[in-house]
Structure 1
Amino acid sequence: MTNEDAVLGCLLGQAVGDAMGLPMEGLSRRRGPRLYPRHDRMQFFFGYGMGSDDTDHACMTALALPPRYDERPDYANAFRRDLAWRLRWWFLGVPVGIGKATLKACVKLWLGFPSTKSGVFSAGNGPAMRATVLGAWAENDEELKVLVRASTRITHTDPKAEYGALAVALAANVAATTRDGPAPSAEVLTARLDELLPHDTAADELRGLLRQVVEGIAEGLTVEAFAEKLGLTRGVSGYIYHTVPVALFAFFRHADDYRTAIPAVIRCGGDTDTVAAITGGLIGTRVGKPGIPAEWLASYRDWPWSVGRIERIVKKEMLDFTPGPQMFPFYKFWLPFQIVLLLLMCVAMLLAYPVLVLLRVTTRLLRNFLFFLVVLGHIVRRMLPPY
């Protein structure tokens, strides 16, 4: 299986995992199975599934990747600028369920803050959504570390966010480099990660969590039992040091068994779409498209990230890289001038790029509106028994 197969498996695995986990998002371990007793099929909309921001972020990250690490002296800057522009346009579509830190960062990006200063101090799991494809793509640890740092700091500046994303990316890289051999062990990840992490409080906390992953695998714990061991009895939260250990444990526990791993993390409750998306991305990297249940792929229906579009991203669009331009730093001006400049910028964009605005914003708004209606239906359903 080639690197292209690994990246394709990563993106498809993340999209399908996201869609499988989305209906149970926010429900506790007790309530979730009562409302959705079956975890072997899509349940978002009459047997079909759609992706959330987890799929959006992974696909945007893939499209922002420059061709290869050693071919560009400004590799990290080109990647960061391109991803920042994609996040700006994505934000105009009013995505449902956007995290608070990502929302603030996108607002700062539109106010002209450079992508090096747009991040906010948060340890949410947003960077981990973007990390799987980075690990599947990277050819060495140096490239991986550079990409993770650039991706993370656009939205999150808490070191925990970067370290957690680095652990996910490294696990994806382990999955990609061992996909033709036996299932990797968690010890391989901890050894490589220990060399990349600094020695500070946040990094040492992650090391401790990964030691628990290794111990849990040795003890033969189930994914649900491991989450309970971490104290996540009501569900896995969006805190990156809750999301990442559970996803990593599920990967190493079921490295070649996508069909078993995804329901296992969904049964943990909480932020089920993100945990299932990351787990699916990791296992998908290893098993490729053939290892993802065909009926789940057939039931995944979304726009713009359909199965066909994701395949085109990997086979062609990732190679057609053009870095985004630098944005004028409006934030340095007084607020009245800032407002005037922003209005002028909006008028200029509407006049100069009407087709782009219509395609990228109007259609995205329509998709997100329809998505919201389905989510609203799920919210109403949650108000009804069984409790």
Structure 2
Amino acid sequence: MSFTLFPSTRLALALESLAGLSVGDALGAQYFVPGNHPSDLLRARVPAAPWEWTDDTEQACCLVTALGDGDFDRDGFAETLARRFDAYRGYGPGAVVMLREIREGLPWPIAAASAFDGQGSCGNGAAMRAAPLGAWHADSLAHAAAQGARAAEVTHAHAEGIAGGVAVSVAAAVAAAGRLDGRRPEPAQLLLATAAHTPAGSVHDGLIEAAGITGGQEEAAHRLGNGARALAQDTVAYALWAAARYLDDYPAAVAACVIAGGDVDTTAAIAGGVVSAYTGVEGIPAAWLAAREPLPGWLPVTGGG
């Protein structure tokens, strides 16, 4: 990597990733509504606006407010998550309990460690919000991995939940670095670079398997999972396969997630955040961006909308 990032550039990269994440999340969520058919997306037909975003976007907005110089501000992030979360945005029951505990004064390390009978969460929360952090650290995959772990640990004490956040952070950093370098990373290159910075375990192994898949979406979803189990082990590898495969084609990446079924708002959020780190907001169809519900007013800057 042969570039220097100034704070304004880091923020611009993070906000463009947030735009892609939020549009993917909001569009994906429409396919939980009866009458909206995923196959329509292959014919460029999308649901009627507005598209409301879910907890994926709300948490990502909280994350962006915590970005800054030095180590990721975990205490500030935990406080913002607890203060801003809206349980009606699709949060899982475990997340609602945890965030309410933090809001009521329980230190986040205790709340995160006590989740799921002391096992910690290995769900998708850390992964689905992570792409803007990776884009912020486009100049260092090692920093993206380290800070991705710090951000994940606020709510996820399970090793796989943390690995999911790390993997998405690194993938977004690879994508943004490719944009800045003017070189699109090949799909296997992106996935293997991500795996190289992801802790050992099921998420890591899924990335290695994803790098070797030469078939299409059906094969990838069958082998990697589509998020139906709402676990990082079942979600992250496929979402990043879609992002790597369609890194220069935002609509195709999101469509690959929607058609695969499962946790489509989350897979589309992950893939969308990584792809827009590479394409910028220009890669997102303007009509899709306009259809997405505006980002929350408490976000100081909204970049791509």
TM range (shorter): 0.7 to 0.9
Q: Give the deviation of 1:237 after TM superposition.
A: 3.2
Match of 1:250 among 242, 251, 255: 242
Rate the CA distance shift 1:197–1:273 in 2: closer, same or farther, 3 A.
closer
- CA deviation vs aligned residue, 1:86-110 (integer Å, no higher than 9, x gap): 111123x433310233223212212
What corresponds to 2:98 in structure 1?
105
Query: CA distance change for structure 1 residues 214 and 195 in 2, over 3 Å: closer, same or farther?
Result: closer
The CA deviation at 1:130 is 2.1
Aligned-pair identity in percent equals 31
Query: Superposed, which structure 2 residues align to 1:226-237 within 5 Å?
Result: 226-230=220-224, 236-237=228-229
Query: Contact 1:102–1:156 (CA<8 Å) still a contact in 2?
Result: no
Q: CA deviation at 1:305?
A: 5.9
Whether 2:83 is the aligned partner of 1:86: answer no
Aligned to 2:184: 183
Residue 143 of structure 2 aligns with which residue?
Answer: 143
Separation (CA, whole Å) in 1 of partners of 2:238 and 2:154: 25
Does the aligned pair in 1 maintain the 2:124–2:230 contact within 8 Å? yes
> What do the CA deviations read for 1:214-266 (whole angstroms, capped 9, x no partner)?
111xx2x222321023355xx64311111101111001110100021111110
Q: CA deviation at 1:304?
A: 1.5
Name the structure 1 match of 2:210: 213
- The 8 Å contact of residues 152 and 166 in structure 2, kept in 1 or not, is answered as no
Classify the secondary structure of the residue corresponding to 1:116. Answer: helix
CA shift digits 1:13-38 (9 cap, x unpaired): 0111111100224x9xxxx8974542
1:64 — aligned with what?
66
Normalised by the size of structure 1, how large is the TM-score? Answer: 0.68
Aligned length: 288
CA distance in 2, matches of 1:19, 1:197: 28
Q: CA deviation at 1:156?
A: 1.3
Q: Is the 8 A contact 2:79 2:103 kept in 1?
A: no
Paired with 1:246 and 1:191, the residues of 2 have a C-alpha distance of: 14
Larger radius of gyration: 1
Q: How does 1:1-387 map to 2 (within 5 A)?
A: 2-25=9-32, 35-39=37-41, 40-43=44-47, 46-66=48-68, 68-69=69-70, 75-76=71-72, 79-91=73-85, 93-119=86-112, 120=115, 121-138=120-137, 139-180=139-180, 181-193=182-194, 195-198=196-199, 203-216=200-213, 219=214, 221-230=215-224, 236-304=228-296, 309-311=301-303
Q: Deviations over 1:310-362 (max 9, x none)?
A: 2189xxxxxxxxxxxxxxxxxxxxxxxxxxxxxxxxxxxxxxxxxxxxxxxxx
C-alpha change, 1:257 and 1:163, in structure 2 (3 Å) is same
- The alpha-carbon distance between structure 1 residues 106 and 308, as it changes in their structure 2 partners (threshold 3 A), is closer
Which region of structure 1 is more displaced relative to structure 2, 159-168 or 33-42?
33-42
5+ residue gaps in structure 1?
70-74, 314-387
Whole-angstrom distance in 1 between the partners of 2:256 and 2:235: 14
Taking structure 1 as reference, are residues 215 and 95 closer, same or farther at Cα in structure 2, changes over 3 Å only? same
Change (3 A) 1:300 1:307: farther
2:161 and 2:232 in contact (8 A); partners too: yes
Cα deviations by residue, 1:106-146 (Å, 9 ceiling, x for unpaired): 12212322223221212100001221111001242443233
Change (3 A) 1:61 1:307: closer
Larger RCO (alpha carbons 8 Å, 6+ apart):
1
C-alpha distance in structure 1 between counterparts of 2:285 and 2:45, whole Å: 10
TM-score (norm 2): 0.84
1:379 matched residue in structure 2: none
Distance 1:208 1:150, change over 3 A: closer
Code of the aligned partner of 2:174: V
Mapped contact 2:217–2:256 kept (Cα < 8 A): yes
The answer as to whether partners of 2:171 and 2:191 remain within 8 angstroms in 1 is no
Task: Determine the C-alpha separation between the residues in 2 that align with 1:306 and 1:267.
Answer: 33
Contact preservation (8 Å) 1:54, 1:274 = yes
Structure-1 separation of matches of 2:225 and 2:165: 21
Cα distance 1:113–1:128, how it changes in 2: closer, same or farther (>3 A)?
A: same
Alpha-carbon distance between aligned partners in 1 of 2:253 and 2:293, rounded to the nearest angstrom:
21
Aligned CA distance change for structure 1 residues 306 and 293 (closer, same or farther; 3 Å): farther
Q: Secondary structure at the match of 2:303?
A: helix
CA RMSD of aligned residues (A): 2.7
* Distance in 2 between residues matched to 1:86 and 1:312, nearest whole Å: 22
Residue type at the aligned position of 1:268? A
